[in-house]
Structure 1
Amino acid sequence: MQESNPKPLGFSISQFLNSFEANPPEDSVIAATSTPSSTPTPTPHIPSEYELRRASRLLELDLAKERVEPYIVDMSKRIPDIEPLISINGSCVCSRGNISAVCGEAKSRKTFLTSALVASAMAIPAPILDNFESVDKNMDIEVLWVDTEQGEQHVRRVVERISTMTGAKAGGALSEPRLTTLALRELDPAERKQVMYDALRLKHYDIIVIDGIADLQRNTNDLEESDALIGELMALSTHTRAHILCVLHTNPGSDKARGHLGSSLQRKAESVIFVHRVGESSVVEPQFCRNEPFERFAFAISAEGIPQLCNLPSESNLENPVVAILRQHFSGAVERMTLTTKCQELLGITQDNARMKIHRLIKQGTLSKDDNNIVRIVES
């Protein structure tokens, strides 16, 4: 007598698993009885080990398909064009759904630059910002400014500056009504993030500024923590369709953003804007741009405390790393050996190399040295 083949699965995987879970084999086997019956009771099918493995594999494939499909680029679907929020000299630097960075050494006027960028996006441009543009002047841009470093008095100055540049104060307003500002200096990193996320639950914003992104984590040199934070911000920008503009420090005498956090942000950012001091001016350069890079420019601070465009310093006057260290760490004057040691530390060079750099700058007339071996910056 020919053996019958195993019964094929006659229903879906989910039905199979549900029915199998609800009716396990040991509970479903009908014991033989002596009671006669005109219609024999059919024996339920008990899946073989092969069928169970096959069903499990098919279920895994279905779940994998569900996870992958939302992220497949479908060229038949139309998606919105890149929507710029801020452009410089006609080049888009900040668009919806992206993150960017403004980097620079301490006191290079990163916050001044960022406030000017934000003001330009709020659709009421001041003449002094004619190279910063909001592409659609009819957009009603809402901005969340998160400050993690400064005390409230200094944060208030930022609000007043932006309100002046947008024209809100001239119109009689106490401050720019489309700007919400959080001063989170007193909180720890986890609390700062929580307050920021709570603010985003309460209202939609088009631009989110994090002035002091390094203060959202405990260790900027922790690779996993840094990557996780940047990943969170990328997801946040995608889901909110906002642009997240981060402000952070560079290493002294360098254009490299500080720590693993800076490296991770530079890799993922739509634009990385580098600002550095040259005398009384601040020079702004496109360090990394996914779109067309803008032309570098310079700005100074007016008597009213407002950023205004100025001429670029000549190439010969661009700040040398040694000069930058002398200015930022020693207010422009220090004993020569102290400067040599600091240059070794911050520039990662030998003592002889540091001495040679200082000697050349003295010989060029960029630095001066008096009889007490005090080195000073020669201001032009």
Structure 2
Amino acid sequence: MENNVKEISHDVAVSLWKKAMLSVETECERQPEVIMVKGVCIATLGNFSASTGKAKSKKTFNLSAIVAAALCDHPVLCYTASFPENKGNILYVDTEQSTYHCQKVMKRILRLAGLPEDKDCSRLQFLALRKNTPEERLAIIDVAIRNTEHLGLVIIDGVRDLIHDINSPAESSRVISKLMQWTDEYQLHLHTILHQNKSDDNARGHVGTELNNKAETVMQVEKDKADSSVSVVEAVHIRSMDFEPFAFRINDDAMPELVAGYTPSAASVGRPKKEPFDPYREIPAQIHINVLERVFAASPSYDYDGFCHALQDAYLEEGVKINYNKAVSVVTFLRNKRMVLQDDKRKYIANPEAHY
């Protein structure tokens, strides 16, 4: 059972409360814009972003272009970068590949940036953490960030390997909180990669949901439907204005290059496709909490069908109408969040130690 909530003392809470207070009389500095796509900002200091895509969609090639742009003063693919002088260093963390393949990525970055690929660059630190555990990876990244001067950009390929269970709400929340802590405390930008589900275009697991909700920009890298040798990059979620999608292919030198004159596929005729129902995104947390209080005040336990119908009635009383199929999705969501449990008789009961 997930219940690793750390108790905060009263004195610490008061200190944090005072530090969190904002005032309109105090001027807040705007975070520097550090990475652009065709003139559109996708990354600022103090925030994090992400790339998602299916396996073999060339996400790491696209990532190489982002890092190369941060190392040089010319565009790479459609990326340009402008980091402050005291934020010029880069930390690249790979959690998946062997040291041999990590070194190939490192050489590719240097070549894209116009730097010698047989000599280390003092501004680029590359860590290969495939052999380490999730706890060790987090600790290593934390130490590297704390001890690297003038750090402006951190790359984590990929965030899934910083946790044991990709569907764990507690683990997902902890790792996303860590990304936000690093970026805010050290005023750097962090970009990470997460695979998409095989069955749809959603980022995998609960950590994918957290990424979509908290990231400054989420880009999707996918193979072109008409030509599998071409990868298309587009914004899925972005706080700035959308950028025009662009495409690249891998040339004979195993380097990514722009596909000249690429135009996005025309939108399909008819009504736009509706995204699958997502209880986490579409229903506020307090409503979920109110519904469970209402449902279990009426009865301490339910069978599956009874629980679904009870949820329908309770959400309706909270002003949210859901059909039976959506109630099924809500049950799955509540189980994943461990807000409800099943007893020995497979009846649904409230989790007294649950936290949203």
Query: TM class, shorter-chain normalised?
Result: 0.5 to 0.7
Q: 1:95 to 1:137 in 2, by over 3 A?
A: closer
CA distance in 1, matches of 2:152, 2:168: 30
Matched pairs, number: 254
What residue number does 2:173 align with?
A: 227
- Which one of the candidate residues 82, 107, 119 is aligned to 2:68? 119
- Which one of the candidate residues 146, 160, 169 is aligned to 2:116? 169
Tell me, yes or no, if the aligned pair for 2:231 and 2:248 is still in contact at 8 Å: yes
TM-score, length basis structure 2 = 0.67
Flag as ranges the 4+ runs of structure 1 deviating above 4 A. Answer: 62-65, 136-140
What residue number does 1:85 align with?
A: 34
CA distance in 1, matches of 2:102, 2:166: 23
1:313-352 → structure 2 map (5 Å cutoff): 315=265
- Which one of the candidate residues 86, 91, 103 is aligned to 2:52? 103
CA apart distance, 1:221 = 0.4
After superposition, the C-alpha distances for 1:185-230 in whole angstroms (9 at most, x for unaligned) are 0111111111111212221321110001100110010011101110
Using the TM superposition, name which of 79-88 and 283-292 deviates more: 79-88
1:291 aligns with 2:236: no
CA apart distance, 1:124 = 2.8
CA distance in 2, matches of 1:235, 1:80: 18
1:200 aligns with 2:149: no
What residue number does 2:309 align with?
A: none
What residue number does 1:339 align with?
A: none
Partner-residue secondary structure (3-state), 1:315: coil
Identical aligned residues as a percent: 33
Partner-residue secondary structure (3-state), 2:177: helix
1:266 aligns with 2:216: no
Q: Write the letter of the residue equivalent to 1:229.
A: V
CA distance in 2, matches of 1:102, 1:236: 19
What residue number does 2:132 align with?
A: 187
What residue number does 1:217 align with?
A: 163
CA distance in 2, matches of 1:65, 1:81: 27
Q: 1:132 to 1:225 in 2, by over 3 A?
A: same
TM-score, length basis structure 1 = 0.63
CA distance in 2, matches of 1:73, 1:296: 37
CA apart distance, 1:65 = 5.0
Using the TM superposition, name which of 287-296 and 199-208 deviates more: 199-208
1:312 aligns with 2:246: no
After superposition, the C-alpha distances for 1:231-257 in whole angstroms (9 at most, x for unaligned) are 111011100101110111000142210
Q: Write the letter of the residue equivalent to 1:159.
A: M
Q: 1:64 to 1:257 in 2, by over 3 A?
A: closer
CA distance in 1, matches of 2:18, 2:179: 23
CA distance in 2, matches of 1:298, 1:93: 17
Partner-residue secondary structure (3-state), 2:140: helix
Q: 1:64 to 1:212 in 2, by over 3 A?
A: closer
CA distance in 2, matches of 1:239, 1:199: 14
Structure 1 runs not aligned, ≥5 long: 1-59, 319-380
